[in-house]
Amino acid sequence: MSEFILVLDEGTTSTRAMLFDRGGALKGVAQQELTQHYPTPGWVEHYAAEIWDKTLACAREVTEKAGGAEQIACIGITNQRETVVAWDRTTGEPLARAIVWQDRRTADFCANLRKAGHEAEVQRRTGLLLDPYFSGTKMRWLLDNDAAVRGASEAGRLALGTVESWLVFKLTGGAHVSDASNASRTLLMELGGVGFDEGLCELFGVPHGALPRVVDNAGELGLARAEWLGREIPITGLAGDQQAATIGQACLSPGETKATFGTGAFVLTNKGREIPESANRLLGTVLYQLDGQRIYALEGSVFVAGSLVQWLRDSLGIVDVAAQTEALARSIPDSGGVTIVPALTGLGAPHWRAEARGVITGLSFASGKAELARAALEAMAHQTHDLAEAFAADGARWATLRIDGGMSANNWMAQDLADMLGLPVERPDFVETTALGTAMLAATGAGIHPDLPTAASAMRGDMSSFAPEMAAEVRNERLARWHAALAAA
């Protein structure tokens, strides 16, 4: 019997292949960085061909570590959700650079739709707001501005999809599918609908025929061709990264909440079969779909988290590696009044201000590397506090917060979250829960485990806990500075 689950984890800055056993233990990993393209302020692009080439190279490296393709039982894929790829379904080649989820080029298009009075109806039907973050407006931009994309559409050869759709197409040699969690991030699918909606496609100007078929998150979803890894291997799990992390944290009951701190920060609360409605500019999304039945989540999305530390490292030289921020934060008693609003690509939930830009307040001659590093980490708790208030106002108050993602390994930040939220914070010992949740889905889809709760019970590891310790007056002073800085942003 094949022993391992191969997970392809397609992130914003890198692609990875990860090998899990049926108990959830990580047995191998290969990773390659993706080139980031910033052709003009607010634009972020990837080469779709590079995504495929590097993903395949990582998959082959990990398959060799496993002892060959015969040791791989199934494949799961998780991805940065709102990034859009356009390709020719006949040649299988990309037609333009992929537009990354962080990209803000469609802000004016979204504003015009809002002015025309469409946002309330779009939110009611899709759970989403009219923001450049989501995939549908990026698809429309490609059609309007790229001759190759427009020509392929006119010729009936255009395929549009998010990254998991692109990878499945390449692996299978032509299957064009998207799982329900990713499809729910496009603005083109009703939360309670079966597939992409003709009326929404017409509103956004996206050809329905160019879109993939919407499928479950686990099951027989495709078959990777033997030419790639050495034998045909079933693809049995697909999920957007934040939904996968929620599953990896075993947030399978209504009310359970996780926050992932990666390039951005994303909080999801399980809402069960209830289609979420928000009066506080949070998002409704599909958490997962199995056997055609959907479980939903309420989500708050912050655009800049780990990418702020990356900016401190790469652009300012404050640190050489991200892990140094913890030692710098611990080296001083407070930030010296320095506050950072990390709106480097606008503000996400609950503010949704695409035009906002980053602000650093409270600088003095006494401010140095430590103060800036600590203020950057404090911004994570400040943004999460804003989300906590919005969730509570929508009737989804958190009792505990489960955290994961690369930044969550920072113990100082984990404690600061507990202090600023006034809540217990739990962190798994294995923080890469996006990949783990995808492995759980793939294991369920392949029949390795009989259902998702059994997979989560068998594969989830141990936890660490952080209890709130901060005095109320300290918390209130921090929040007052944060709100003043937000006004400046």
Alpha-carbon gap, residue 419 to 208, rounded angstroms: 48
Alpha-carbon gap, residue 291 to 305, rounded angstroms: 35
DSSP E strand boundaries for 338-448: 339-341, 359-361, 401-404, 425-428
Q: Are 438 and 237 in contact (CB under 8 A)?
A: yes
Q: Which pLDDT score is estimated for 263?
A: 85
96-100, 165-169, 274-278, 445-449 — which is least confidently predicted?
Answer: 274-278
Question: Quick one: CA torsion of 47, 48, 54, 56, rounded to 10 degrees?
Answer: -170
Q: Which pLDDT score is estimated for 37?
A: 94
- For residues 344-355, give the mean pLDDT: 87
- Average pLDDT over the chain reads 95
Percent of the chain scored above 70 by pLDDT? 100
Q: Which pLDDT score is estimated for 471?
A: 95
Percent of the chain scored above 90 by pLDDT? 91
Q: What is the architecture, at CATH level 2, of domain 4-241?
A: 2-Layer Sandwich (3.30)
- b/e map of 116-139 (b: 16 or more CB within 10 Å)? eeebeebbebbbbbbbbbbbbbbb
User: pLDDT band for position 462 (50/70/90)?
Assistant: confident
How many C-beta neighbours within 10 Å does residue 419 have? 20
pLDDT, tens digit, for every residue of 372-385?
A: 999 999 999 999 99
Q: Which pLDDT score is estimated for 352?
A: 83
Q: Which pLDDT score is estimated for 1?
A: 56
Give the closest residue to 66 by CA, choosing from 26, 33, 32, 31.
26
Question: Quick one: CA torsion of 202, 204, 205, 210, rounded to 10 degrees?
Answer: -90
Alpha-carbon gap, residue 194 to 464, rounded angstroms: 39
Give the closest residue to 32 by CA, choosing from 46, 22, 21, 17.
17
Give the number of C-alpha atoms closer than 13 A to the C-alpha of residue 324, restricted to the C-beta side. Answer: 14
User: pLDDT band for position 354 (50/70/90)?
Assistant: confident
Alpha-carbon gap, residue 423 to 81, rounded angstroms: 29
In this structure, what are the phi and psi dihedrals at residue 75, rounded to the nearest 5 degrees?
-125, 135
pLDDT of 262 higher than 90: no
Residue 408's alpha-carbon distances to 179, 222, 401, 413, in angstroms, are: 27, 33, 12, 7
337 dihedral zone (left: phi>0; alpha: psi -120 to 50; beta): left
- For residues 466-486, give the mean pLDDT: 96
Of residues 138 and 263, more confidence is placed in 138
Give the closest residue to 81 by CA, choosing from 222, 255, 279, 286.
286
Q: Which pLDDT score is estimated for 23?
A: 95
Residue 437's alpha-carbon distances to 191, 257, 292, 346, in angstroms, are: 22, 14, 19, 29
- For residues 11-26, give the mean pLDDT: 95
pLDDT, tens digit, for every residue of 172-225?
A: 999 999 999 999 999 999 999 989 999 999 999 999 999 999 999 999 999 999
pLDDT of 291 higher than 70: yes
Helices (H), 178-229: 180-183, 198-204, 226-229
Alpha-carbon gap, residue 100 to 13, rounded angstroms: 10
- For residues 309-313, give the mean pLDDT: 94
Angle between the 163-172 and 48-66 helix axes, to the nearest 10 degrees? 60
Q: Are 434 and 244 in contact (CB under 8 A)?
A: yes
DSSP calls for 368-388: -HHHHHHHHHHHHHHHHHHHH
pLDDT, tens digit, for every residue of 61-74?
A: 999 999 999 999 99
Amino acid at 152: A
Domain locations in the chain as residue ranges: 4-241
DSSP E strand boundaries for 26-123: 26-33, 45-46, 72-79, 84-88, 98-99
Amino acid at 32: Q
pLDDT of 3 higher than 90: no
- For residues 417-440, give the mean pLDDT: 95
Q: Which pLDDT score is estimated for 431?
A: 83
pLDDT, tens digit, for every residue of 72-96?
A: 999 999 999 999 999 999 999 999 9
